[in-house]
């Protein structure tokens, strides 16, 4: 059992709170917020693009702090869960590490590659772990793909295409501020950059084409180069300027002996889903050419429970997570910035 202190009670703090209620191996010991109403348990103004809306919560038995330094100083806490706004991730995580705490930092790890490097270096120096909340590999459709890669059931992965696009989030004033949120690549596409890095290794180049909003990429498509010329991977991500479709994500993953396909979109008038399917080409049985795995009911909070269980496993065992490591998250941020460079220069950029 590890004791956890959550810093920041916004949408992600709320989702993590829900997950901690169901994870027996972690105890939510304390929360920190500068909002007196949040510290009093009024979380009713929290809303996001999935999961239940915020509500009144019972914080009896949970310590509440208005000062982040008091949270860090709490001797009963083993792990700090950093759900602060992105521009505060690096400095607060480093302070917590130097105070002797393990850190579970929500994505994006930081807004710059240099800050990510400082976080990793600090964790290594003080002998604590920096884990980064890239939850995508724990969502059922992506966890399934990850397991197929690990098993080798259909051979090695040889390519794929990924999509993650949202309607312009007009309610976030600083979404396109590179110094506070980072824009669509750092805040949104980073999920797929991380997953591509996880499945295929580090690319050798990126070639991105798209449009800018100021100095920040609004929308782009990227071709990722690899040492193996047989691997072909692309990704499309960003913002559209119509509000009729809040969110869509999809992938098609190519193996030597199969193709895996998944597509989901949330429109204003309802959701549309093409459930995950495995297309198998080496069979004469027409009925067996399309395999439809049972992935459960798709409750997104389950993924966060699995993510937190992986955090606990890593901390208690002292064995770093291959899914949530700071090094992997750092590489994802680095790829996002190289894609911005490629869009700006309108040329291929070496990694």
Closest Cα to residue 198, out of 324, 317, 283, 111? Answer: 324
Q: What is the mean pLDDT of residues 119-140?
A: 98
In a domain, 311, yes or no: no
**Contact between 247 and 238 (Cβ < 8 Å):** no
Same domain for 98 and 157, yes or no, is no
Distances (CA, A) of 114 to 63, 109, 117, 331: 34, 11, 5, 11
Domain with 263 in it: what CATH number? Answer: 3.30.360.10
The kind and range of the H/E element at 162 are strand 157-167
Same domain for 129 and 147, yes or no, is no
Same domain for 129 and 144, yes or no, is no
The tens digit of pLDDT for each residue in 55-99 reads 999 999 999 999 999 999 999 999 999 999 999 999 999 999 999
State the average pLDDT for the chain.
95
Sorting pLDDT into bands at 50, 70 and 90, what band is 299? confident
Domain end, chosen from 134, 157, 180, is at: 134
In a domain, 15, yes or no: yes
Same domain for 50 and 145, yes or no, is no
C-alpha radius of gyration, the chain, whole number: 20
Closest Cα to residue 192, out of 257, 253, 277, 244? Answer: 253
Dist CA 115 CA 156 (whole Å): 34
The tens digit of pLDDT for each residue in 176-216 reads 999 999 999 999 999 999 999 999 999 999 999 999 999 99
Domain end, chosen from 103, 134, 165, is at: 134
The tens digit of pLDDT for each residue in 135-168 reads 999 999 999 999 999 999 999 999 999 999 999 9
Q: What is the mean pLDDT of residues 303-312?
A: 96
Q: Which domain, by its residues, includes 6?
A: 2-134
Dihedral in degrees, nearest 10, Cα atoms 78, 83, 89, 91:
-50
Cβ-based burial of 280 (10 A; exposed 0-12, middle 13-18, buried ≥19): middle
Domain count within the chain: 2
For the whole model, what pTM was predicted?
A: 0.95
In a domain, 69, yes or no: yes
**Beta-strand pair 258-267/130-133:** unpaired
Same domain for 198 and 80, yes or no, is no
Q: Does position 49 have pLDDT exceeding 80, yes or no?
A: no
Q: What share of the chain is helix, strand, coil (3-state, %, to 5)?
A: 35, 30, 35
Same domain for 235 and 149, yes or no, is yes
In a domain, 188, yes or no: yes
Distances (CA, A) of 172 to 79, 183, 216, 245: 29, 11, 15, 17
Domain with 128 in it: what CATH number? Answer: 3.40.50.720
Could you tell me the end-to-end alpha-carbon distance of the chain, in angstroms, rounded to an integer?
40
């Amino acid at each position: 059992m590890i004791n956890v202190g959550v810093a920041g009670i916004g949408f992600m703090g709320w989702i993590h709170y829900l997950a901690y209620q169901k994870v027996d191996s972690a105890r939510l010991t304390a929360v920190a917020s500068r909002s007196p109403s949040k510290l009093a348990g009024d979380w009713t103004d929290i809303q996001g693009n999935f999961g239940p809306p915020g509500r009144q919560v019972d914080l009896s038995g949970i310590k509440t702090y208005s000062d982040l330094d008091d949270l860090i100083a709490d001797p009963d806490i083993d792990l700090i869960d950093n759900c602060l706004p992105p521009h505060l991730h690096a400095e607060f995580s480093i302070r917590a590490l130097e105070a002797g705490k393990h850190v579970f930092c929500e994505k994006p790890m930081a807004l710059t590659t240099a800050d990510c490097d400082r976080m990793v270096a600090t964790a290594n120096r003080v002998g604590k772990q920096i884990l980064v909340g890239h939850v995508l590999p724990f969502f059922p459709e992506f966890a399934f793909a990850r397991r197929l890669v690990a098993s080798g059931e259909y051979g090695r992965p040889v390519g794929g295409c990924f999509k993650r696009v949202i309607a312009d989030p007009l309610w976030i004033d600083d979404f396109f501020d590179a110094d506070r949120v980072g824009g669509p690549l750092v805040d949104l596409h980073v999920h797929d950059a991380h997953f591509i890095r996880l499945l295929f290794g580090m690319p050798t180049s990126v070639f991105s084409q798209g449009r800018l909003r100021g100095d920040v990429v609004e929308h782009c498509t990227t071709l990722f180069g690899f040492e193996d010329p047989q691997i072909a991977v692309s990704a499309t991500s960003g913002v559209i300027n119509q509000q009729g479709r809040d969110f869509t994500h999809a992938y098609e993953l190519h193996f030597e002996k199969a193709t895996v396909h998944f597509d989901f979109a949330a429109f204003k008038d309802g959701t549309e889903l093409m459930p995950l399917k495995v297309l198998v080409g080496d069979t004469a049985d027409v009925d067996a050419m399309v395999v439809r795995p049972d992935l459960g009911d798709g409750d997104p909070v389950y993924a966060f429970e699995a993510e937190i269980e992986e955090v606990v496993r890593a901390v208690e065992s002292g064995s770093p997570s291959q899914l949530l490591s700071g090094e992997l998250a750092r590489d994802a941020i680095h790829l996002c910035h190289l894609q911005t460079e490629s869009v700006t220069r309108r040329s291929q950029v070496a990694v």
